[in-house]
Structure 1
Amino acid sequence: MPDGSIVQPEAAKPAKLQLFETQKKIHPKAVKGLYRRLKTITFSVLLALFFIAPWIRWERGPDAPAQAVLFDLTTPRFFLFWIEIWPQEIYYLTGILIVAALGLFLATALAGRVWCGFACPHTVWTDLFVWIERTFEGDRAERIRLDKQPWTARKILRKAGKHAGWMALSLVTGFGFLAYFTDAPTLLRDLVTFEASYEAVSFFAIFAGMTYIMAGWTREQMCMYMCPWPRIQSAMLDEHSLVVTYQADRGNNRGPKRKSQSWDERRAQGFGDCIDCGQCVQVCPMGIDVRTGEQADCINCGLCVDACDSIMIQQGLPTRLIAFDSLAAQDTRAAGSTYNWRLIRPRVIVYALLMLVIGGAMAWSFALRPSLNITILRDRAPLFVTLSDGSIRNAYTFKVANKTRQNRAYTLSVDGIAGAEIKVIGEAEDEGSAHTAALSADADSVATYRVYVTAPRSAVTAASLPLTFRLADTANADKDSRDSVFMGPAN
């Protein structure tokens, strides 16, 4: 400097720390092959079942919903063809969820994340959304070029067409979800005529919006960061589970192959069968490279198998460079031995037995499920009342669940205390005996009664006596009983 001062160099600024990697959009390429056909067949069947099931009619009698599959929140009941589940029977839903979880464990132990790759609802809808995207914007290379191009009328039209298709499918999906909770024809009419309730419109918008966001925008991010199963499934796998694998001993070292290069020349140079074309990565909906080893994000969809097999066929080489295989099989073959896939293994047996036991117990319980059920709740305040003649009275809330589609009449009696009399508030007394009472319950409903039980003072020999309520149907053999207690003064 002219004044002779020394200027110190400016301190280097520290690099900006990024807490996460910016999302890289994945453009899965279309592929043909065995697993692609299996995926198409699977998601076609699942979508057909999802959209058709609410429209199936099932006659249950007057004043009963005629929809075969219905989660009726107003009744509330769960209807599945001839099966009707009441809120008090929530344990059936618990059992179904447990069996479903065990089935997922069993499928994972056998074939890895095959559920995620073929039957998961998120995978099914994402696959359909990608097909719509490919229809309007072209295959992978064309979509990548389109994203990089400036906005033109042609690009706007293609993007608008894609999003219009996504929104149309989202609306249909939103209606499909909501149709499981209310009568489908009525819901459709109310939505079309703008007569739907605020609740119906709100849930319809939520279901449609979440479908549009998750299947159209988040896609693989849902599987990688929001779904807990990739982190759990590793505990279900072992070395004998079938997963998508890459035969590194056959494929490496990998590198591009020139058209003029023969395979003898490549092998002389130490190259393997993999020509590093990247097709397995380009078709992967998760954007991963299976050649780098087993990964939790792999959904076992098998599309990379189809892509690699097509390349191997073009090159005149054996297929299954990438294939569904087990790690134990690869190690065994690498050692020069023959591997026999172990289908029956301890964990497989445990999962299958648990499914069989729990499923069998549920089926047995449902087959023996009574059509009549009673509930007793004794008043806590006061514990008892002493009447003018010295007798002791207890009050109870008595509920009768009539699970049939016919109105029923019942006879109520009590056992356990000699001379005990019954009186039902609001009901006419039984002319034949004060020791019994007549009750009734409408079809498919719960009738609630206020019941007084009065016992002579001489029969109340303790502060708490066991008491049994018995209810019998006057027209058939249906009956039920519940134990309770009768409170009195301490002697």
Structure 2
Amino acid sequence: MDIMNDWNETLIREENEKFRTEVATMDKQGTRKWIYAKKPSGKYTNYRQIVSTILLLSLVILPFIKLPNGNPIFKFDVFNTIFILFGYPFFTTDFFLLAIGMIVSVVFIIIFTTVYGRLFCGWLCPQTIFLEFIFRKIEFLIEGDRNKQMRLDKQEWNEEKIIKRGSKWLIFAIISLFFTNVFLAYMLGADVLIQYILDGPFEHFTMFLGMIIFSGLFYFVFAWFREQACTLVCPYGRFQGVLVDKKTMQVSYDYVRGEGKIGRSKFRKNEDRKKIGKGDCIDCGQCVAVCPTGIDIRNGSQLECVNSTACMDACDDVMSKVGFPTGLVKFASEENISQGTPFKINARLVAFSAALILMLVAMTSFMVNRSDVEVKFLQVPGKDFSVEGEYITNTLQYNLMNKTNHTYKLTVDVKTFRDGKAEILNEDHQFISLDKGKLKQGLIKIKIPRKDLTSYKVPIDLEIKDMNGKEIDNYVISFMAPF
């Protein structure tokens, strides 16, 4: 028995060393090992299918929906630097919101990963959703499951292989072209995209060429590069190593139960595994077969793991067939497994989740409460105050940015002084006409009775209103006087 235990420990040690020194998708010479993932099925796969369907339908439909204000829900027009989020237009003057958003995003990723691991990768990441729920499904439909794909790959280029591979690649190309146009709808706007299509490719040849290049890249990633994007390119897997700790919830193998006292072994009928000291893992390899990145979850947390939960469904299916309890591979923390405790909501989970929610609420509040018109008044360089009868006059330069989809007609009032006057230096001296999405500059005279001024610099509050008297914004600036 001692010899058996030593031999088993040696095998486990060698396997661990191999896992730590080799990448699952490459051999020692650096040659890629193609991943033939088995078609997953089960409870978690069905849940992921629902989530991915909702996200894909949203991706396709959202750019074609317009809100009552005439804006799409999302638009990212990098060519004209116009960005629309949830129907609100954002401009380069809103850079501070972008900076806040980036900070919130980084902190959100750190906290989310620390608590929930790489749940985003397996359930929400576009790379995973496109690959697993579009391209692989087409592959399963045309070429069959894992074993049939492996046989097809090894056989000669006969009629069957040419038809299957050709039809698969053609469908992949059509899908890539379709989603490229969807992304263009987010950039150009659905109306503009439809007009470009009706005009024909040669009317907008530069845009057409860019679309073809992007479609080629899209095809390359999902037809060939695939899981390499996760294991070699995406930095998120590298972050995992420093963000995940023993309390992090993630897809984990219950090694205490699975290995037992003498390790895992093949299933034998009518065998008392507990008495012998064997673990519940029967070493069937199904968790490896279904993994989209080709790893063995039994080796523990790895940067290649995207938490797809396919291994959980595969293991539960095998455990049910052999009459063992399910949950050998499950969502759990290292602490849960080592101590044999079930998952439960603790203070850490509540605190971190509350922090995530507060950050989202704060960012949403910043966006919603952003002023419709950005206002700025500046003293005109080189100009001093002037005296006009009983009034002291300052000439100011105004900069107004309309961040909405409708035209404003604005007036300016001196809120600080009842007898103060604001005279806009245009043809009618009454209002400022501000077109949607436009920046306007001009001059304005501020007149305040001399008797009301008690210092050479007096802070005044300028109130900007629309023609209905509704306050749009206000601005405080120092008024120069001869005292």
- Please give the TM-score of this superposition, normalised by the length of structure 1: 0.77
Deviation at 1:205, TM superposition (A): 3.1
2:433 is matched with 440
- Checking the alignment, whether the CA contact within 8 Å between 1:304 and 1:322 is kept in structure 2 is yes
Matched, 1:482 2:475: yes
Match of 1:88 among 86, 93, 99: 93
CA 1:318–1:443: 2 relative to 1, 3 Å:
closer
Change (3 A) 1:216 1:98: farther
Residue 6 of structure 1: aligned partner: none
**Is the contact made by 2:385 and 2:480 (CA closer than 8 Å) also made in structure 1?**
no
Specify whether residues 397 and 19 from structure 1 end up closer, same or farther in structure 2 by C-alpha distance, changes over 3 A only.
farther
Aligned to 2:127: 122
Q: CA deviation at 1:228?
A: 1.4
Cα distance between partner residues in 1 of 2:81 and 2:30? 49
Given that 1:57 and 1:68 are in contact with CA atoms closer than 8 Å, whether structure 2 keeps it comes out as yes
Secondary structure of the corresponding residue to residue 296 of structure 1: coil
Distance in 2 (CA, whole Å) between partners of 1:364 and 1:272 is: 52
| 1:242–1:326 Cα contact (<8 Å) kept | yes
Query: Structure 1 residues 153 and 208, CA, compared in 2 at 3 Å: closer, same or farther?
Result: same
Other structure's SS at 1:264 match: coil
Local SS of the residue matching 1:208: helix
**Seq. identity, %:** 28
Partner AA of 2:126 in structure 1: P
Using the alignment, how far apart are the partners of 1:94 and 1:207 within structure 2?
A: 28
TM-aligned CA distance change 1:363 to 1:132, over 3 Å: closer
Aligned residues: 450
SS in 2 for 1:397: strand
What letter corresponds to residue 399 of structure 1 in structure 2? Answer: N
Q: Is the 8 A contact 1:418 1:455 kept in 2?
A: no
Q: Deviations over 1:282-314 (max 9, x none)?
A: 110010011122222211111111112222222
Displacement of 1:50 after TM fit? 0.6
Equivalent residue, structure 1, for 2:355: 354
Q: 2:62 aligns with which of 38, 41, 53?
A: 53
Cα deviation for residue 78 of structure 1 reads 1.0
Shift of the 377–23 alpha-carbon distance from structure 1 to 2, 3 Å rule, reads farther
Q: 1:477 to 1:23 in 2, by over 3 A?
A: same
Helix, strand or coil: the match of 1:483?
strand
Q: Displacement of 1:96 after TM fit?
A: 5.0
In structure 2, what is the equivalent of residue 162 of structure 1? 168
Look up the equivalent residue of 2:156 and give its one-letter code. P
Would the aligned equivalents of 2:63 and 2:185 in 1 still touch at CA under 8 Å?
yes
Change (3 A) 1:151 1:405: closer
The CA distance in 2 between the partners of 1:59 and 1:300, in whole Å, is 40
Are residues 407 and 264 of structure 1, via their aligned partners in 2, closer, same or farther at CA, if it must alter by over 3 Å?
closer
Question: Which residue of the partner structure matches residue 193 of structure 2?
Answer: 187
2:442 to 418, 440, 449: 449
Contiguous gaps of at least 5 residues in structure 1: 1-17, 334-338, 430-436
Structure 2 residue matching 1:181: 3-state secondary structure? helix
Q: Give the 3-state SS of the residue equivalent to 1:398 in structure 2.
A: strand
Comparing 450-459 with 478-487, greater Cα deviation is found at 450-459
Tell me, yes or no, if structure 1 residue 131 matches structure 2 residue 133.
no
Change (3 A) 1:471 1:240: closer
Q: Is the 8 A contact 1:384 1:392 kept in 2?
A: no
Q: Distance in 1 between matches of 2:271 and 2:28?
A: 48
Aligned partner of 2:31 in structure 1 is 22
User: How far did 1:117 drift?
Assistant: 0.8
**SS of residue matched to 2:30:** coil
Matched, 1:210 2:220: no
Alpha-carbon separation, structure 1, partners of 2:150 and 2:404: 61
Q: CA deviation at 1:111?
A: 3.3
CA-CA distance at 1:483 after TM superposition? 3.1
1:174, 1:206 within 8 Å by CA — same for their partners in 2?
no
Other-structure match for 1:400: 400
Alpha carbons 1:102, 1:354 under 8 Å: kept? no
SS in structure 2 of the partner of residue 440 of structure 1: strand
Are residue 219 (structure 1) and residue 229 (structure 2) matched?
no
Spell out the pairing of 1:209-358 with structure 2 (5 A cutoff): 209-252=216-259, 253-257=263-267, 261-264=268-271, 271-333=278-340, 339-346=341-348, 348-358=349-359
State the one-letter code of the partner of 1:264: E
- Asked whether the equivalents of residues 110 and 343 of structure 1 are also in contact (C-alpha less than 8 Å), the reply is no
Counterpart residue number, 1:336: none
Deviation of residue 49 (structure 1)? Answer: 0.8
- On the 8 A contact 1:423/1:451 being kept in 2, the answer is yes
Paired with 1:80 and 1:320, the residues of 2 have a C-alpha distance of 40
CA deviation string 1:124-162 (max 9, x = no partner): 011121122222222111212222223233322222111
User: Do 1:245 and 1:323's aligned partners in 2 also have CA atoms closer than 8 Å?
Assistant: yes
Measured against aligned partners, the alpha-carbon deviations of 1:392-437 in whole angstroms (never above 9, x if no partner) come to: 98764312334565544333356899999876554344xxxxxxx6
User: Hey, what's the Cα distance between the residues in 1 that align with 2:187 and 2:48?
Assistant: 29
> Would the alpha carbon gap of residues 234 and 456 (structure 1) be closer, same or farther in structure 2, given more than 3 Å must change?
same
> Is the radius of gyration larger for structure 1 or structure 2?
1
- In the alignment, what sits opposite 2:18? none
Task: State the secondary structure of the residue aligned to 1:180.
Answer: helix
Q: Which moved more, 1:93-102 or 1:200-209?
A: 93-102
Q: Does 1:70 align with 2:75?
A: yes
TM-score, normalised with respect to structure 2: 0.78
Q: CA RMSD in A?
A: 3.9
Moved more, 235-244 or 176-185: 235-244
Given that 1:383 and 1:487 are in contact with CA atoms closer than 8 Å, whether structure 2 keeps it comes out as no
For residue 219 of structure 1, report the CA deviation from its aligned partner: 1.7
In structure 1, distance between residues paired with 2:212 and 2:276: 61
SS of corresponding position for 1:238: coil
For the 8 Å contact 1:309–1:321, the answer to whether it is kept is yes
Quick check: which one's helix share is greater? 2
Amino acid at match of 1:251: G
Contact (CA 8 Å) 1:178, 1:203: kept in 2 or not?
Answer: no
| Mapped contact 2:256–2:338 kept (Cα < 8 A) | no
- Decide whether the 8 Å contact of 1:102 with 1:351 is kept in 2: no
State the partner residue of 1:113. 118
User: Which residue does the alignment assign to 2:4?
Assistant: none
Kindly indicate whether the alpha-carbon contact (under 8 Å) linking 1:113 and 1:299 is maintained by their aligned counterparts in 2.
yes
